[in-house]
Each structure stands twice: as structure tokens, then as C-alpha cells.
A and B are shown apart, each in its own frame.
Chain A
Amino acid sequence: MMIVNPIISAGNRRHFTQQVYLWSLFALCLAWIPAKAETSAPIHSLEISSPRDFGIVMGDTISSEIRVRMDVGYQLETANLPKPGSAVSDYLEVRELNWSQQTQDNETTYRINLVYQVFKGVREPETLNVPAIALRFKQDDKLVETEAPAWSFTLSPIISPKLLDEAVILRSDLPLPAINKSGHWQWLGISLSGLIGLAFYAAWHLGLPPFNRRTPPFVRTASALKKLNKQPASLINYRQGIKLLHDALNETAGYSLFAKHLPKFLEEYPQLHHLKPDLEQFFAASNQAFFATATTEPADYSLTRLEKLCRELAHTWHKKQ
């Protein structure tokens, strides 16, 4: 029978208790490790690339693309990303930030494009760092954090390193910006041309100078009557012909010329006086055509005769002019 020393027994108990604590801690660690692994597992890969990391000088912009491939369902927390216009170091400012998300085959790819502007002067080429960027992705209450690693680029000087500070000649002030007037002149020219064109159109349309002199109303009407005469004879065409000659007479007189105004008209235009009987007959035929119940053109005053009168008027008018 073994006598248990109370002191030894107490030590063993203490040892036992310690062991229990250690094992419990180990078990807790084991339980925690998969949890940690679960937190980082959603990210499959993280890459960072820059199209150029050399030949960069003061004021240049440098861009980088961060590509993160991860499980579907995680959303990028954009509030965590550096904002355009903010400084990420003493010499780097973020100019642009944009990102896109693409999901394919149970994998989401985030592309984060960052453009920085460099504001540092160096005397000799120097290697500078672009700091790491913390990235956070969230899915419901699960949060995954990672970091796009820092990367470096080479900054070169603009001013020759051999040039002493005292020998550097500063670039001068910028002049006033040129005021561009050509655009305004162009639009003014277009507007003026348009308005002049419209004025010519109106003059032509209304038979105003200079078009009325070049093509007297009787000449215009004579050619219109000739065209009308080639069409099959009908009362409509005949009435149209009479109306055309009325228009030409009105335009020449400057007022609506009726039969009762004929003596006054011939006083104003004595060169047409020898055509008085013809004009009187024309007004009579006009009355008949518009107010009588005729169905065809009258035999004694046809469209051909109307054209002939118009040509005679045009000829006399032209001779006088």
C-alpha cells in the first residue's frame, strides 16, 4: 500500500492542474487556428503591378493595379481606400482611384487602379516606396482584412546633378493665357452669312431688288405660262394662267390692279399704252373665267393668247428698261 505524502500529493495536484490548463490552452489554440484560417482563406491571391517603375521624374503620375481574387460574396470596403487628392506620404498624392469587380467560376476578381503623383526633387536617381494599402472585404458579419504590399520605383532628377545650385536658372513666369477669338469670329461669320442668305432668299421669294430687275415679273410669268400651256387644257390651268398674269401686273403696279385702275396704270407706264385693248380684253376674260359658269377655256381668249400678251408686255417692258 502506498502512502501518499500529503505534500507530494499536493505538488502532483498542482502539476496536474497546470497540465490541465496547458491542454485547455492548446485545445483553444486548435479551435482558434481553423477560425483564423477561415478568415484568410477567402482570398485566393493578391497581385500588384505597375506599368512602369523607372524613368519617373518630378510631377509624373505613376499607376498601379491591385488584383485580388477571392470567394464570391465579399464586398470591398471602399471607405478604407485612399481618397483622390489625399497624400499617402510626404511626396506621393493620390490623383485617381477606380475599381471594378468581376465574378467568374465561383471567384470574384477585384481590380483597384490607383494613380499617384510624385512631388519630390532629387539630385540623383533614388528609389522611393509606395506604401502598403490596407484592404477590407465584408460579407454579412464576416470581415477579411489584407494588405496590398508596398512597392518601389526609381525617381530621376530633371536638373542635371552636375549643375551647381547657384548656376541653376529658374524658369520664368507664365504669360497670360491666349484669348481665343477665332471661334467667335467663325460663329459671327456663320450667323452673318446665314442672315444675308436669308435676306437674298426673301428678296428672291418676294421679287424684290435685285431679283425684280434681273427677272421682270412679265418675263417670269411668260416662262411660267409657257410651262402651263404645255399641260393638257383645263379650266384649272386656264384660271392659274390668268392668276399668274394678274400677279405680274400687281407686282409691276405695286398694288392690286383691277380693270377700273387700268387708265391710271397706263398713265404710270405709258410704254404699255398700245396694249390697252389687249389688257381690257384680258380683264374681261378674267371676269368671265372666274365669275361665269364656264367649264373650259374660252375659245376667243385661250392660254396661248394669254402667253402671247404676257410676252408682249415683257418685251415692251424690257425695251423701255
Chain B
Amino acid sequence: MEPLKLRRLPIRFYGLSLIFLIGIIVQGFKLYTIYSLQQAIEHPNAIIVNENTPSILIFAKAMHLTQIGKTGEAIRLYSSLRNTKDLDLRARSMHNLANIYLHDGAQHWNARGVLDYNYVTTQVELAKQNYREALRINLDNWDARYNLEYAWRITPPPKEKPKSDFKGTKPSVFSTLPGLPGGGP
């Protein structure tokens, strides 16, 4: 008995089928990746950061560390996103990094004032640099503008030069050298 010969389908049917099949595979994979990322973001303490960790997970981990007070580690993670290709994420990282510096600087400024001059100056300058970086990427970030203006407001004034205790005018350095006592022979 001869098998029934199927009627042939047009070639464009196979082409279109292949395109739609590839579309399903690609979009399905992307959605799977997104859902995996979302699962990881919901448990930031379980995120292990290494060189293969996606930028968004590093950001989530840094946010979590800031919330639990581990700002040193958060600074390290946010700084690692300084060169990420995702400009939006980079701008957000710089903003949050600046916030850590500014909060710290402002706390010291309000608590100890000029006694912590060097520390406050350093923290505030770092905050300003990072806010500027965030604003270079996204000038619609009004929170960064506000905080940067505040950073300018609390920037300690430059230190005055210590007064010299040197008195009198001397024509040359030799005149300050001890000489013979007066009344000598």
C-alpha cells in the first residue's frame, strides 16, 4: 500500500515558522533571565558578588548593605559600577554612592564641626564628585541636584593659614643666626 503523499506547503511557510520559533526561544529565554534576576533581587543577602554577577544584582546588594549599615562594603560595590555600560544604572549608583559620602560628611559636620575639618572636606568633596557624575548622565535627577546644592552649602570654608610667630624684619637669613653676645670684646 503506498503512503498518502502530503500536499506540499509553500516555502515561505517554513521561513515564517522558523522566524516565529526563534522569536519564542529568544523571548522565552529573556523572560526566564528576568524572572531569575527578580528572584535574586528579592533575597539580596544571598547575592554573591563576583566578576560574573550582573550589574543590577551588584546594585541590589549595595542597596541592601547600605540599609543594614555596612556602608564600607556598599561603597566598594557602588564604585565597581562606575564603568558599567548601563548608563541609567551607573547614574543611580553614583547618586547612591554620593548619598553615603554626604550623609557621613553631614553627620560629622553637625556633630563635630571644624574639629573634623579634613574628614568632612574629604567626604563632601567625594559626594560632590559623584553627584556631578550622576548629573552628567541624567540632568533630570532633581534629587541629585538638591543634595549637591546641600553639599556646597556644608562645604567647610578653606582653612586659614596658621599665623607665623616670626616677628621683626630681617634683611637676610644670617641675621637670625645667633651671634656674639652683646657687650663682647
Taking the closest CB of chain B, its distance from the CB of A321, in whole angstroms, is: 20
| Contact partner, A119, options B9, B30, B63, B132, Cβ 8 Å | B132
Interface 1/0 per residue, B77-99 and A, CB below 8 Å:
00000000000110010011001
Q: Are A181 and B31 in contact (CB under 8 A)?
A: yes
The answer to whether A173 touches B96 (Cβ under 8 A) is: yes
- Which secondary structure dominates chain B's binding surface? helix
Question: How many interface residues does chain A have, given as a range?
Answer: 35 or more
A174 touching B20, Cβ below 8 Å? no
- Interface residue A179 (Cβ < 8 Å from any Cβ of B): yes
Q: Which residue of the partner chain A has the closest CB to B22?
A: A191
Contact check, A168 vs B20: say whether CB atoms are below 8 A apart.
no
In the assembled complex, A209 has its CB within 8 A of some CB on chain B: no
Does any Cβ of A come within 8 Å of B180's Cβ? no
Report the count of interface residues on B (CB-CB < 8 A).
58
The reply to whether the CB of B110 lies closer than 8 angstroms to some CB of chain A is yes
CB closest residue in chain A, given B30: A184
Closest to A250 in B: B4
CB of A108 closer than 8 Å to a CB of B: no
B73 lies within 8 A of chain A by Cβ: no
Q: Which residue of B lies closest to A196 (CB)?
A: B20
CB pair B56–A176 under 8 Å, yes or no, is yes
Which of A165, A170, A190 makes the CB contact (< 8 A) with B147?
Answer: A170
- The reply to whether A256 and B31 form a contact with Cβ atoms under 8 Å apart is no
A191 near B3 with CB under 8 A, answer no
Least CB separation from B67: chain A residue: A173
**Does B60 touch A at the CB level, under 8 Å?**
yes
Point out the residues of chain B lying under 8 angstroms from A250, CB to CB. 4
A172 to B143, CA, bound (A): 8
Which residues on B are within 8 Å of A, measured CB to CB?
Answer: 1-7, 9, 13, 16-17, 19-21, 23-24, 27-28, 30-31, 34, 37-38, 41, 56, 59-60, 63, 66, 88-89, 92, 95-96, 99, 102-103, 106, 110, 128, 132, 135-136, 139, 141-154
Please name 24 pairs of A and B residues whose Cβ atoms are closer than 8 Å in the assembled complex, sorted by A.
A59-B148, A117-B136, A120-B152, A122-B149, A158-B142, A165-B110, A165-B153, A168-B153, A170-B103, A170-B147, A170-B150, A171-B142, A172-B99, A174-B141, A176-B92, A177-B92, A179-B37, A184-B31, A188-B27, A188-B28, A194-B19, A195-B17, A198-B17, A256-B3
